[in-house]
Chains A and B, each alone.
Chain A
Amino acid sequence: MDQKGFIRADVREKVTGEARYGDDLVFSRMLYARAVHCPHPRARILKIDGKKAMEIPGVVGIYTAGDVPGLNQGPQDKPMLASEIANSAGDGVAVVAAETQEAADRGAALVEVAYEPLPAVLDPEEALASRPPVVLYQEDGLTDNVACRHRVVKGDVEKGFREAEVILERTYRTQRIQHSAIEADTAVAVPEKDGITVYCPCKFPYHIKARVAQGCGLAQNQVRIVQPAIGGSFGGKDIDIVVIAVRAATVALRTGRPCKMTWSREECMQEGSKRHPFRLTYRVGAMRDGRITAIKIDGVADAGAYRSRSLATIWRAAVEAAGPYEIPNVETDIRAAFTNNVYSDAVRGFGSPQVDFASESLIDELARELNMDPLALRRRNIVHEGSVNATGQVLTGVSIDRCLDRLEELFPLGEPSVTPEGKLRARGIACLHRGESYGAAARDADVAGTDVRAFADGSVGIYTSISEVGQGTHTAMAKICADVLGLPLEQVRVCPVDTAFVPDSGATAGSRGTISGGNAVRIAAESLRDILRGAAEGEEDVIFQDGWLCRKDGRRLMTFREAVQICQSRGVRTDAAGQWVAPRTGWDFEKHQGKTYYSFSYGAAGAEVEIDPVTGKVEVLDLLCLHDIGKIVNYPEACGQIAGGVAMALGYTLTEELESRDGVLKNKNFDTYLLPTAMDIHRLRAIPLEETAAENPLGVHGVGEASTALVAPAVANAIARASGARLRTLPFSLERVRSALEKEER
């Protein structure tokens, strides 16, 4: 395995500050926009009076829902601007455009909106009650607040529980968190002669394009999306960007001038999408020898006020909720509720961190109940090659057994101990299976287009809409292409993402960037290679290496550049299109069974904690996270991806939480929303493995998200082993830990 890897193409400009992000862009005659936000969780908008705002020098206009040129709001979707009723606090109700950002800010503060506060429903359980206090979308014909519901049914759980010698029932709760990309969401809309160009960071350019076209009342061929450098996504920058882009575009189309809208950090926090909070109740039955006979899972997630990607998130949660175990009888039922909280959407992990916290905590609780070693109990139940999982899918490419072997070797559980200062130490573990890419319930076809073009000077450009959000995917794609064409990496470049030129590669989501984008670029590069072989007429078995076309024995025939020039002189195009079409999946919505994902990836993690029983402070002294990613394209980048996910998950585990009072978020900035700092991470070992090649031509698994799912349960299990106290609610704050320890003492 080449552990040295190679340097990312975009790293220098980002480290030196030369990279240009969306908010760095300035256009001639550009306007600046600021939104006015609703302060109530649910309110009727009676009147919007912009008279005072218009008196501010530099303010050029105030725009409301009625000014949005196209569709302002699809059924249960986040509106571009709230029109009659705002369904959550923070919803934008108007946009002020001005010559300067300062004038726009002052104007926004002076827009007078008359609201009639309406009863709101903030608790998802209450929202799903048989008689909810509020049904959010009655006018759409909805009779309840169920945003979506997914079930998985296998065997007969009642029978499984009758057989069981031990039954446990436990409830776990996860909190609302956010992406926290350092780059705040932003868009610059520039009106064109016949359409609009929007410069914005995003993870799914063609989705933004379609939605901006819809919001602006334009055809999709009139909308162009250009990506500047992107300062992080973490699953975000999708629907939030749609909203911002359409607001900026509304101003641009109404005024004929470019318009920039950049959210302040406070706006990102108040209006931006969040990770779904979950309540998960597990009932598990097992034999004394550890064999699990049945598992029944009932879950409720808070979708917030709008639909977003709740469907895919809840579906993934339902599919993965029973864990990487072969259990004969499974019943999972997870519902997401519409509430008047800020809306939930995809956040790196997409449902996995929530259910993995619950299921992997549960396994340790069961191990304790059975007086079994946590690792042994896992080994007793994990899936193997050919196992049938909870959804009835026969599994291939299973490597969780080897992940656990490596974990045991590198991170033996050992015994709990007490330090001379009285601090409690122990290790805990967790493991996972994770479905790759969109899965069967997605509305988007799982395909990725990518073009590869060779130029007359021998350089090669890749055209893709897989987005470089900081994960190094563009450099990985260049490497894959360079390997096929036998070129040095420097000769291949991924061109800027601009929907005027790049094909639709789908979302950079579901950890699919390298799988889908990488395989698409490989297909395209292979086609291009076949075209260029034509330059060496009469030669058979031409191979491409070191920038040359060679005979099989290595004798050089011509340079890559010459081959391109020969083809071009003959009128042959030197470009090729690649289309990766993911293997078929399918879901039976009546039987609640199916082939959910075309492949699963596996991983395992260990955490060593030290708990201060006086303060309740938990230090995670050592974190080891290993993920089988099949084939590693760039080793240091794979390590970086895992380490980043682990750090993000540590915040989820210990400190991050968006708290609200009466439906209004209390955290307004990073002084009260506590991300982990470098000082909170002691030892972190990120280990990508090449155990089993994934079932795609490149053999790669995704690595973006799995690493966000294991820290919370591993830490919870370590805390329980160290202290006996079981924490079932995230995050493990000082107060929660201390209170759990007090209960344990009693």
Chain B
Amino acid sequence: MEFLRPQALEEALSLLAEHPAYTILAGGTDVVVRRREGRLAPEGYLDVTLVPELREIWNGESIFVGAAVTCRELEESPILAAVCPLLAAAASTVGSPQIRSRATLGGNVANASPAADLIPALTAADAQVVIQGRQGTRRAALPDLIQGPGRCALEPGELILGVVLEPFRETARWSFDKIGRRNALAIARMNGAVVLEEEGGQMRNVRLCVGAAARRPVRFRGAEALLEGQNPDKDLFRRAGEAVSQAILEETGMRESSRYKLPVAVEFTARLLENAARRGQA
């Protein structure tokens, strides 16, 4: 077993080209657990956490957040607090302080857990994942990249560099929420994020994502369409929740957890929207 720890992006990419089958380690909070359980035994690991380019958050025309930025850094970033507080809020619900100090944005995306806490926030923020491959970089939206539980559509030799997202506008309203069985170190029983813009009292560009409800976190276009151009309204939010619940049922069919999740999704979504709308009033 080989353990590689490149200190520059160039070096990381050439090592990855040389060893496309190696498992990329970006904090290890999922990989190490899987290895211990015997579910993972690669020939080698490529630890990218020392690559400076992957550790940055910068604010240019868009916001770039590097793949090896830890949840702790997301939580405490002054840039994100100003331009994408949603991502910081989502990061603060991950694991525990110890986990957050290791777990990274890129790791959370690549692990592609249906219950990942960052993915709904990134999806609602319309983030684009920046991926470096042998032929150069490409960008992918999260719903295209995450194809199912544990299935992140990366080609061999590809590395997630980070995400780019647009800074929230003045008119942006957002919320994030998570249901866990306990208040720390909890895998989401359900989580969700919403971003919308309020123009003249009406809701525009609604992006709604609920996680831990289907095989992958996706936007709920039906519910979004219901809300588009409408005034915030309790009954409307509930109808949007019902649309989400219906969409979940259509995707997953009736499962053991449906008895809990389907009715909860209705009210959870409604509350997510209410919280976003309320944040606008404040």
Question: Could you mark each residue 677-717 of chain A with 1 if its beta carbon is under 8 Å from any beta carbon of chain B, else 0?
Answer: 11110000000000000000000000000000000000000
Specify which chain B residues have a CB less than 8 angstroms from the CB of A678 in the assembled complex. Answer: 184
CA–CA, A678 to B263, complex, Å? 30
Interface 9-residue window, one of B40-48, B138-146, B160-168, B175-183: B175-183
Q: How far is the CA of A677 from the CA of B185 in the complex (A)?
A: 8
Bound CA span A738–B263, Å: 10
Report whether A680 and B268 are in contact in the complex, using a CB–CB cutoff of 8 Å: no
In the bound complex, residues from chain B placing their C-beta under 8 Å from that of A615 are 179, 189-190, 264, 268
Min CB distance A610 to B, Å, is: 12
CB of B271 within 8 A of chain A? Answer: yes
- CB A209 to nearest CB in B, in angstroms, measures 35
Q: How far is the CA of A674 from the CA of B183 in the complex (A)?
A: 11
Residues of A within 8 A of B264 (CB): 614-616, 738
Question: A617 vs B268: C-alpha distance in the bound complex, in angstroms?
Answer: 12
CB neighbours of A679 from chain B (8 A): 182-184
Are B181 and A733 in contact, with the CB atoms below 8 A?
A: yes
Quick one: which of A646-667 are within 8 Å of B by CB? 654-655
Which residue from chain B places its CB closest to the CB of A615 in the assembled complex? B179
Please give, as numbers and ranges, the residues of chain A lying within 8 Å of B56 by CB-CB distance. Answer: none
Complex Cα–Cα for A679 and B95 (A): 11
CA distance A676 to B183 in the complex (A): 8
**How many residue pairs bridge A and B at CB < 8 Å?**
48
A671 touches B (CB below 8 Å): yes
List the A residue with the shortest CB-CB distance to B179.
Answer: A615
Contact of A674 among B33, B96, B181 (CB under 8 A): B181
Q: Is the C-beta of B228 less than 8 angstroms from some C-beta in chain A?
A: no
A residues 66-94 with Cβ under 8 Å of B? none
CB-CB under 8 A for A680 and B183, given A614-B267, A734-B189, A734-B260: yes
The 0/1 profile, CB within 8 Å of B marked 1, for residues 601-630 of chain A is 000000000000011110100000000000
- For A676, give the chain B residue with the smallest CB separation: B182
A738 CA / B267 CA spacing, docked (Å)? 12
- Please determine whether A734 and B183 come into contact, CB atoms closer than 8 angstroms: no
Closest chain A residue to B266 by CB distance? A614
CB pair A677 B182 closer than 8 Å: yes
* A735 within 8 A of partner (CB): yes
- A742 closest partner in B (C-beta): B263
Whether B271 contacts A677 by the Cβ 8 Å rule is no
Query: How many whole Å from A102's CB to the nearest CB in chain B?
Result: 13
Tell me, rounded to whole Å, the shortest Cβ–Cβ distance linking A551 to chain B: 60
Q: Contacts A671-B33, A677-B96 given: A734-B181 contact, CB under 8 Å?
A: yes
CB distance from B85 to the nearest CB of A (A): 20
Complex Cα gap A568–B183 (Å):
61
B184 with A738: CB separation less than 8 A: no
How far does the alpha carbon of A724 sit from the alpha carbon of B25 in the complex, in Å?
50
Residues of B within 8 Å of A671, CB to CB, are: 33, 187
Interface flags for B258-275 (1: CB within 8 Å of A; 0: not) read 011001100110010000
| A735–B190 CA distance with the chains assembled, in angstroms | 12
**Which A residues, 180 to 236, have Cβ-Cβ distances below 8 Å to chain B?**
none
- How far is A677 from B189 in the complex, measured between Cα atoms in Å? 17
Say whether A614 contacts B271, CB under 8 Å: yes
- Write the nearest CB–CB distance from B21 to chain A, whole angstroms: 23
Chain B residues 241-282 with CB under 8 Å of chain A are 259-260, 263-264, 267-268, 271
What chain A residues lie within 8 Å of B190 (beta carbons)? 615
Interface centre among A616, A654, A734 (most CB of B within 10 A): A734
Interface residues of A in 633-655 (CB under 8 A from B): 654-655
Do A617 and B33 form a contact, CB below 8 Å, given A677-B184, A679-B184, A738-B264?
Answer: no
Which residues of chain A have C-beta atoms less than 8 A from B259's C-beta? 735, 739
Known: A677-B183, A677-B184. A735 touches B260 (CB 8 A): yes
Q: Whole-angstrom distance from the CB of A622 to the nearest CB of chain B?
A: 15
CB-CB < 8 A to A655: which residues of B? Answer: 181-182
Query: In the complex, what residue of chain A is closest to B260 when comparing beta carbons?
Result: A735
Is B182 touching A734 in the complex (CB atoms < 8 A)?
A: no
B268 nearest in chain A by CB position? A614
CB distance from B261 to the nearest CB of A (A): 9
Q: How far is the CB of B136 from chain A (nearest CB, A)?
A: 39
Alpha-carbon separation in the docked complex, A721 to B76 (Å): 40
For residue A681, which residue of chain B has the nearest CB? B183
What is the minimal beta-carbon distance from A319 to any residue of chain B, in angstroms?
34
The docked-state distance in angstroms from the alpha carbon of A256 to that of B179 is: 55
Distance (whole angstroms) from the CB of B255 to the closest CB of chain A: 13
Q: Tell me which residues across on chain A come within 8 A of B263, comparing CB atoms.
A: 738, 742
Report the nearest B residue to A677, measured CB to CB.
B184
Q: Which residue of B lies closest to A670 (CB)?
A: B185
Q: How far is the CA of A739 from the CA of B185 in the complex (A)?
A: 24
Roughly how many angstroms separate A677 CA and B271 CA in the complex, as a whole number? Answer: 26
CA distance A170 to B114 in the complex (A): 40
CB distance from A501 to the nearest CB of B (A): 41
A113, B165: Cα distance in complex, Å: 56
- In the assembled complex, the Cα of A584 lies from the Cα of B70 at a distance in Å of 63
**B260 touching A674, Cβ below 8 Å:** no
A677 and B183 alpha carbons, distance in the complex (Å):
7
Separation of A739 and B184 alpha carbons in the complex (Å): 24
In the complex, how many angstroms separate the beta carbon of B200 from the nearest chain A beta carbon?
27
Closest A residue to B186 by beta carbon equals: A674
Q: Give the shortest distance, in Å, between B41 (CB) and chain A (any CB).
A: 13
Complex interface: chain B residues within 8 A of A674 (CB): 181-182, 186
How many Å lie between the Cα of A245 and that of B245 in the bound state? 54
Residues in B with CB closer than 8 Å to A654 are 181-182
Task: Give the shortest distance, in Å, between A670 (CB) and chain B (any CB).
Answer: 8
Interchain CB contact (< 8 A) of B182 among A616, A680, A738, A739: A680
Shortest beta-carbon distance from B269 to chain A in Å: 10
How far apart sit A676 and B268, CA to CA, in the bound complex (Å)?
A: 24
Name B182-198 residues within 8 Å CB distance of A: 182-187, 189-190
23 contacts between A and B (CB under 8 A): A614-B267, A614-B268, A614-B271, A616-B260, A616-B264, A617-B179, A654-B181, A655-B182, A671-B33, A674-B181, A674-B186, A677-B185, A679-B182, A679-B183, A679-B184, A680-B182, A734-B181, A735-B259, A735-B260, A738-B260, A738-B263, A739-B259, A742-B263
| 18 extra A-B contacts, CB within 8 A, seeds A680-B183, A734-B181 | A614-B264, A614-B268, A615-B190, A616-B260, A616-B264, A619-B183, A654-B182, A671-B187, A677-B96, A677-B183, A677-B185, A678-B184, A679-B183, A733-B181, A734-B179, A735-B259, A738-B260, A738-B263
- Which residues in A have some Cβ–Cβ distance to B below 8 Å? 614-617, 619, 654-655, 671, 674, 676-680, 733-735, 738-739, 742
The 3 nearest A-B residue pairs measured at CB: A679-B183, A679-B184, A614-B267
